[in-house]
Amino acid sequence: MTLPFFKKSDKSNESEEKSIIASSSRLSSLSGIDITNFDVLRSLASDYTSVYYANLETGQAAVVSFDDRNMREVAVVFDETASHIDEFSRQYANKRVPPRFFQEFVDVVSLTNLRAKLSETNVFTYRFIAYKGDQENHFMMRASRIGESGPNIVVGFSDIEDQFNEEQRRSMELEFASNAKSEFLKNASHELMTPLNAINGFTEMALKVVEQDVVKEYLSHIHIEALKLTVQIRNLISMNEFSLIDRPPYYEEYPITDFFSNIKDHVTTPAKAKNIELTFDSFGIKVNRVKTDIEFLNRIFLHLIYNAIKYTDNGGTVILSVKQEMLDEKTVSNEFHVKDNGIGMSKEFSEHLFEAFSREKTSTEGAPPGMGLGLAITEKLVNALGGSISVVTKKDFGTDFKVVIPTKVV
């Protein structure tokens, strides 16, 4: 069977239209596809280097348009006897697609795949690399249904090399801007943290030696406000780190009891400022020396305990406990709990607790608002250690975070 190849004519629009309509009638009789709309053909031909129609039921296909500039090149791609989608795709791949992409192209532009894709949507697009002369260019195939549910489709191939290059340029600009922002936030935040850490440290030291009640009260106020500012700066750091937590854990030998002592040293002062009772229950430790990423571990539990203190009213309680269970001779499961009797969370909010930027309005007096990134980062760190995190909470009754992390026994 010989299928018509349509080429743009230099004749008048009227004669061109008559010629293409006559040819499209021949195509309709050959392929069983109704193509009589000249405006559609002319519109498609202006956007695509080649266009063909096909029937998804029979698999018959026929070329209906070629770009004048590529007529000679593209004409040799398709054998005039080809009449099936799979024949067209294989011939196109043989002539135009680099060998390393050959099978992928044939699989994607196959009758079976087009049927599957166009059963889910009316339009299916596929980007691929093909030769244009001696160079590899980026092309796009667009397959669209004709009508809502009929078997006929139109498939167009277009050269998108210029579009691809523009997208790459914009992507590089966005990446550069994002990296610059991240670097600025990192540098600015750490520059602010250095003097704040000094203020916090010297205030803590002064509170231990000063005896006058009035001076102690002033120092306590300074310390609390400095801690609030520290939280806000940590929020900025968290925004930056949220997309940068990609390093694998670095496992090193560390005693769990030292971990407890370190956490206690960091959170005792803010707890005292709110008259919160802290309890550190390490009686469940069976194996003290384990291998873990201590930086990840500290960040996980400092955030959870700071949050517990932040959202627990004056005079409340916060508990950190651990219970170990041997999984095998070399692995121990550490089940940590961070429990408080604070304001708790609603059931609705707790279902979205670990999503980035999730925040619930609270009535805790003086609690500085966060960015809603802390728990999303915490979950990332827990997952990186091969663990899991969950929560049991009730509004006005408190919260219990359970973190299970496996560690290797030293």
Fold of 247-410: Heat Shock Protein 90 (3.30.565)
Calpha distance 164→46 (Å, rounded)? 19
Pairwise pLDDT comparison (191 vs 380), residue with the higher score: 380
Average pLDDT, the chain: 78
Highest mean pLDDT among 51-60, 98-107, 182-191: 98-107
Which residue reads 């499961």 in tokens?
Answer: 333
- pLDDT tens, 79-109? 444 578 888 888 889 988 999 999 999 999 9
Is the distance from CB of 42 to CB of 82 less than 8 angstroms? no
**207 band by pLDDT with thresholds 50, 70 and 90:** confident
pLDDT at 6: 36
Pairwise pLDDT comparison (363 vs 200), residue with the higher score: 200
Least confident of 43-47, 197-201, 251-255, 405-409: 43-47
Pairwise pLDDT comparison (354 vs 119), residue with the higher score: 119
Pairwise pLDDT comparison (40 vs 60), residue with the higher score: 60
**258 band by pLDDT with thresholds 50, 70 and 90:** very high
Q: What are phi and psi of 20, to 5 degrees?
A: -70, -35
**30 band by pLDDT with thresholds 50, 70 and 90:** very low
Partners of 279 in beta bridges: 319
Calpha distance 85→113 (Å, rounded)? 11
Which residue reads 């932040």 in tokens?
Answer: 310
Calpha distance 4→179 (Å, rounded)? 54
Calpha distance 92→95 (Å, rounded)? 5
Which residue reads 């390490």 in tokens?
Answer: 282
Record the pTM.
0.48
pLDDT at 252: 93
Partners of 280 in beta bridges: 320
Q: Give the dihedral sign, CA 209/211/215/217.
A: positive
Calpha distance 214→56 (Å, rounded)? 86
Calpha distance 48→157 (Å, rounded)? 5
pLDDT at 65: 55
Query: Is it true that domain 13-159 has CATH number 3.30.450?
Result: yes
Residue 4 has pLDDT above 60, yes or no: no
Least confident of 174-188, 229-243, 299-313, 341-355: 229-243
Is the distance from CB of 339 to CB of 319 less than 8 angstroms? yes
**385 band by pLDDT with thresholds 50, 70 and 90:** very high
DSSP structure string for 295-318: HHHHHHHHHHHHHHHHTS-TT-EE
Calpha distance 230→204 (Å, rounded)? 15
Question: Which CATH number is 163-244's, of 3.40.1130, 1.10.287, 1.10.1660, 2.60.40?
Answer: 1.10.287
Domains of the chain, by residue range, sit at: 13-159, 163-244, 247-410
Residue 212 has pLDDT above 60, yes or no: yes
pLDDT at 224: 78
Amino acid at 222: I
pLDDT at 70: 44
Q: How far is CA 264 from CA 206, 218, 270, in A?
A: 19, 24, 11
Percent of the chain whose predicted confidence (pLDDT) is above 70: 73
pLDDT at 150: 75
Residue 75 has pLDDT above 50, yes or no: no
pLDDT at 373: 67
**113 band by pLDDT with thresholds 50, 70 and 90:** very high
Helix (H, G, I), strand (E, B) or coil at 72: helix
pLDDT at 44: 53
